[in-house]
Amino acid sequence: MRKWKQGVIAVLVFLVSLALVATGDLILGALSVIAMGFSMIYAVGLVVLFVFQQIYRRSRKESKPKIEETAVKPKTVTVYECGHCKNQYSNSETCPLCGSPYRKIVEERTKEEKVEKWKPRPRSRTIR
């Protein structure tokens, strides 16, 4: 069950028990005071738990590194064709299949590469 529903039920129990205290019956009044006490303790516990969860989430968000800047750098990719076996390759001085150094340029492409610079993480504080 969701926490807000539990909180609404605790408030309703508190209000109903408050109304039963006002009836004047001794046994019913004593039981309703006990129910009112438990519902108050439970509602306060829900609020305290919620506050601690929010503090924990905020501290986790702040500890994650954040991007300081993003730069787009152009990168040229050249596709070669081997002069011996007609194989196409890109990142080698010689053909990876036959090892021939003779090649010709088939195509040159320019890729955009994103480079992100991250902010350093804040150091955790330790008590000595």
Residue 103 in domain: yes
Residue 105 in domain: yes
Computed over every residue of the chain, the mean pLDDT equals 81
Residue 54, phi then psi, degrees to nearest 5: -65, -40
Statement to judge: residues 92 and 54 lie in one domain: no
**Mean pLDDT across the stretch 91-110?**
83
Statement to judge: residues 78 and 40 lie in one domain: no
- The reported pLDDT for the residue numbered 124 is 57
Statement to judge: residues 57 and 71 lie in one domain: no
Boundary (domain end) residue, out of 24, 47, 63:
63
Boundary (domain end) residue, out of 21, 39, 63:
63
Statement to judge: residues 59 and 85 lie in one domain: no
Statement to judge: residues 18 and 59 lie in one domain: yes
**Mean pLDDT across the stretch 60-81?**
76
CB count in 10 Å sphere of residue 87: 14
Boundary (domain end) residue, out of 39, 63, 87:
63
Statement to judge: residues 8 and 59 lie in one domain: yes
Domain total for the chain? 2
Q: Which domain covers residue 25, as residue numbers?
A: 3-63
Statement to judge: residues 81 and 45 lie in one domain: no
Q: How confident is the model at residue 41 (pLDDT cuts 50, 70, 90)?
A: very high
- Do the Cβ atoms of 59 and 50 come closer than 8 Å? no
Statement to judge: residues 77 and 46 lie in one domain: no
Separation of alpha carbons 93 and 11, rounded Å: 77
Residue 40 CB-density burial (10 A; 0-12 exposed, 13-18 middle, 19+ buried):
middle
The half-sphere exposure of 11 on its side-chain side, counting CA atoms within 13 A, is: 8
Statement to judge: residues 46 and 59 lie in one domain: yes
Separation of alpha carbons 10 and 64, rounded Å: 37
> DSSP 3-state helix, strand, coil percentages of the chain (rounded to 5)?
45, 25, 30
